[in-house]
Amino acid sequence: MNVIFIEPAFPPNQREFVRGLAAAGATIVGIGERPVEHLAGELRTWMLHYHQVANVTDVGALTDAVRWVQRRIWVDRLEATVEAHTMAAAHAREACGVPGTSVRTAYLCRDKPAMKEALRTAGVPTAASTAAHSANQVREFAAQVGYPLILKPRAGAGASGTVRVESDAALDAALAGFGEFESIAAEEFVEGHEGFYDTLSVDGEPIYDFVTHYYPNVLEAMRTRWISPQFVTTNRVDTVADYAQVRAMGRRVAQALGIGTSPTHLEWFFGPRGLRFSEIGCRPPGVRAWDLYGAANDIDIYQEWANVIVHGHVGQRLSRRLAAGIVALRPDGDGHISHYDGVEEVQARFGEHILDVHLPAPGTPTQPVDAGYMANAWVRMVHPDYDVLRAMLDGVGETLKVRAA
């Protein structure tokens, strides 16, 4: 099978998808923005050809590049695994007659108000929302729904650009922060515990699925310096009855949005009003969550993704042997990292369960709190018992301190 892969070099874990495709026997053509000489030698050896474009989200440039490849070899698939690339990739597929995620599906997985409207029509429980084209429309929505409200870019990923507002004054301040906008998504705030449900699906049916929990919810985690936030993937998916609701919701969402053979990343809330859909992407989760899934289930998930793309099936079953999680460690101030406290104690207490660690060298500039779970220091861990793992991640967050000056 001949597969075009979009942007094989950045972010760095993109190379793992290329490695997986090569291991699955695909002939790979990469299309990306970096000069070929900037690609690591091993990455280049996995690809038949690498085609540079100025911007992979430029639909015209990407389509031209795909057509250039098609004049030389038959193209069976065109794959994009980064949220910002999915829409351009879908347009290029349809323009060039390549199978895969459609423009309609990619649009519904990117545009949050349209996504939620489609799912409400399909009977999926979700928050009230609207696509507002003016500040007055947002204020009208607030008057109808009440506070708190969530404002976010229509095509944002994760918590990027997301603001919670709880009063008219806070709403005015938030709208000023958006500046001149063509449209933003305004949503009812849904109270409850937050998690995500990820799949690797073939024709809309999950071949693999994973349930992961946030501690605390993302908005709080990305706004509060002293918190060492976690997300933890459970190995109890097949044994806890409540997860059947999440799995059923995932299937209904995929069917309603037309998601076929693709990874998915679905965010959900569970609270006083029951299970509520938040949003979905037809791509893998960010923050290298797939690394945790692979370690927890004794699989090479990047190769199994490639097996699905190339062969239509996976090669191994999930073991569900371990729970796996990450704890993010924030510097105690802005500036540059000066030193760490508690490293030796963490290693002594939890060393056998540590998957990997990232401790930027002293002198490294600190990153803002809202830059994400892997922006500064972090520790990833595994354990057969989910509750024990959570307690260990808490212990790391309480013990290992990142000092800045």
pLDDT surpassing 80 at residue 178: no
Task: Give me the amino acid identity at 390.
Answer: R
CA distance 257 to 103: 11
pTM of the model: 0.90
For 302-321, how does the pLDDT look when each residue is reduced to its tens digit (9 = 90+)?
999 999 999 999 999 999 99
pLDDT category of residue 136 using cuts at 50, 70 and 90: confident
Q: How confident is the model at residue 157 (pLDDT cuts 50, 70, 90)?
A: low
150 compared with 7, residue with greater pLDDT:
7
Give the lowest-confidence range in 32-36, 62-66, 103-107, 369-373.
369-373
Q: What is 193-404's CATH number? A: 3.30.470.20
Residue-level pLDDT at 186: 87
The label of the residue with tokens 């076929």 reads 260
- pLDDT of res. 104: 97
The number of angstroms, rounded, from the C-alpha of 352 to the middle of its chain's C-alpha atoms is 28
Q: 200: pLDDT confidence band, cut at 50, 70 and 90?
A: very high
Banded pLDDT at 181 (limits 50, 70, 90) = low
Can you give the residue ranges of every domain in the chain?
Answer: 2-100, 128-188, 193-404
Averaged pLDDT, 226-240: 97
> Token pair for residue 282?
């037809």
User: Which CATH number applies to 2-100?
Assistant: 3.40.50.20
Which pair of tokens denotes residue 103? 């423009």
**Predicted local confidence at residue 289, as pLDDT:** 97
CATH number of 128-188: 3.30.1490.20
Phi, psi at residue 154, to the nearest 5°?
-60, -30
Q: How far apart are CA 268 and CA 16, in angstroms?
A: 27
